[in-house]
Homo-oligomer: A and B are copies of this chain.
Amino acid sequence: MPQHPRITCNTGHATGSSADSGRKPADLTHHFNASTRARKPSVMKGLYKYFMVPGMSNIAGGLPYPGFFPYDTLRADVASPERLLDIAFHGLTPAKASSSFFSRRRREKDPKTSHISIPKFEPSQPAEKRIDVATTLQYGRATGLPALADFVREFTFAHMMQGQLAYAEDQADIVLTCGSTDGFSKIVQCFGTAGDSMLVEEFTYPNALQTAAPFGISTAPVRMDEGGMMVDGPGGLRDVLENWNVEKSGRRPHLMYTVTIGQNPTGITLKRQRRKEIYELCDRFDVLILEDDPYWHLQFTPESHNLPSDTETKYPFLAALELSFLSIDTSGRVIRLDTFSKTIAPGCRMGWITAQKPIIAAIVAATESSTQQPSGFVQGMVAELLCRAWGMDGWVAWLESLRDVYEERMVSMTAILEEGKEIITVTSRDDLEVVERTQLYSFNKPEGGMFVWIRMDVSSHPAYKAFISRGNSKADMLTKLWEWNAVTQLALPCPGGMFTGGEKCRDKADDYFRFCFAAIELEEVKAATSRWVQGTEKFWHLKAWEIEKIGEAESVIGTGANKRGQDGGWGGWIGGKGRFEVKFEDF
């Protein structure tokens, strides 16, 4: 089958067309796979309406009686949106702190705890507004609890997107998911077909690849530079798409999986110009963009701190953030994944997908015959918190405070890493003091997210050549370094090989470690990073034979789980190869 580039924007409004004609997205239903075409749309909605007819007795639906649900109320003690102020702003400029909406709120209120309560019945509310036990714990709609779905819709289109969706809002919709892994799995099941290749960044989130792989979908990695996925040059997106070999690799990719803000693992945030160039190529080659954006609220770029000074902007914090691909998505080819995992808690297992309506309808149909809806416990608890206790103002304030407390950790970690990246040796030679610098590793400061991606330069190790000449590999040395710091410093970063976008970039990924500054307390982040830095410097002073001996002292750690060659240990370290065969769902 010949594979020529094709323009599929059959309504004639590709990027660059006039605003009026561009308000309707293209018909992209040709991307639906056989399963999706075989699914019939649900006709449940009409039924629910019918149940609401006054006086109608429902002896049809197999619903249990809500009076027999053992929960009478659901309650919680929760943070007020201002709580994190107490620990924020340590490492940030006063100028920034005083100009933010968040700090303006700070003057009015103190950090405190609130209480939320969900009653059993809320008859005074219309059905569409109810957040009560009888509603949230009953069977519900695949699109989500109406009150919560409405809040998410408003937040997405009016505030997160700043009203800048590239097509008309009435052509778009959202559907709640059971977290973004569930959402991505449903997208793959709706649009993927065995034999497909999916475009990915050359370093990427491993769980996405492992979700797609069982459906017969492999990856087509695209090279990255410090700006993110590359457009031009060898291995860039244009090269991959234009020079796709159908005979060798099958159908040209029609799906792209991408994390564009605080990318996992690199921490890169894709800027406007690069975003446009990628979009134009996707539009030209009819690629659906699956934009997974768990870290959008965690942006650390200078631009994100450059708050608009006008008084018209309701949420300056949001206005300064880099926008989603949806903001330039004239064709409606972006399927965006959001999650509450990083804003509320991962255990929510709740998020949402935003896309043009026919795409959402296909995902709703897939939801009806799988998860049906997120648990009513999480829908109720999050709806009560967001719609009632916090409101939109509180929610946005909370997001800004999260950005600030995570940025503080990032600043602390990178400062320590920066200091330790070189060994400076001063030697006297004749009358001169000679300064010699040995670079141990390098990294760019994260522009968002939760990770620092550092590239180790083990070839600068004085014993490197000796170590290799004794029959070891570079990957072996990286393995030994990782083990050395785990055992002697009790500091555990992630080996970079886990994040490879495909086998062909595996060696490159192996040179990296990914550090996360999110999981533990700030003081422990600092201490663990310092220990790792010290351990690394010590490692550079080891002899080749000493390096080879690392790993014999594993029992120090007490589990033996990281023993080389033992599967099921730390990330499934595979003995001898210096490779990780890992499935990290949560990383």
Contacts and interface: CB of A to CB of B under 8 A. Distances in A.
Interface of A: 34-36, 38-47, 49-50, 53-79, 83-84, 113, 136-140, 142, 178-179, 181-182, 185, 194, 207, 210-211, 213-216, 264, 341-342, 344-350, 366, 368-381, 385, 398, 402, 405, 413, 450-451, 486, 490-494, 514-521, 524-525, 527-529, 531-532, 557-559, 561-562, 567-572, 581-587
Contacts of A38: 213-214, 216
Nearest to A211: B369
B377 A348 contact: yes
Contacts of A140: 347
B46 A586 contact: no
A76 B75 contact: yes
A425 B247 CA distance: 80
B375 A350 contact: yes
Contacts of A376: 345-349, 378
A347 B43 contact: no
A194 B34 CA distance: 10
Nearest to A571: B47
A341 B57 contact: no
Interface centre among A44, A57, A140, A342 (most CB of B within 10 A): A57
A209 B139 CA distance: 19
Given A371-B349, A561-B49, A57 B528 contact: yes
Given A34-B194, A49-B559, A62-B264, 15 more contacts: A34-B216, A42-B583, A46-B569, A53-B558, A60-B514, A62-B451, A62-B586, A65-B521, A71-B79, A71-B344, A72-B77, A138-B347, A178-B349, A179-B371, A347-B379
Given A40-B581, A62-B519, A494-B60, A375 B375 contact: yes
Given A207-B369, A370-B185, A377-B348, A516 B60 contact: yes
A391 to B, nearest CB: 14
Contacts of A557: 50, 53, 56
A40 B210 contact: yes
Interface centre among A372, A378, A529, A571 (most CB of B within 10 A): A372
A216 B33 CA distance: 12
B59 A371 contact: no
A350 to B, nearest CB: 7
A76 B65 contact: no
Nearest to A54: B558
B53 A559 contact: yes
A181 B369 contact: yes
Given A40-B581, A59-B517, A567-B43, A79 B74 contact: no
18 contacts: A39-B214, A40-B210, A43-B572, A43-B582, A46-B559, A53-B558, A54-B558, A57-B491, A59-B493, A59-B520, A62-B516, A62-B519, A72-B79, A181-B369, A185-B369, A185-B371, A346-B376, A347-B379
A377 B346 CA distance: 11
Contact of A377 (B378, B491, B525): B378
7 shortest interchain CB distances as A-B pairs: A347-B376, A57-B528, A137-B347, A43-B572, A137-B345, A139-B586, A377-B377
A375 B348 contact: yes
A65 B320 CA distance: 25
A243 to B, nearest CB: 28
Contacts of A375: 178, 347-350, 374-375, 377-378
A398 B137 CA distance: 18
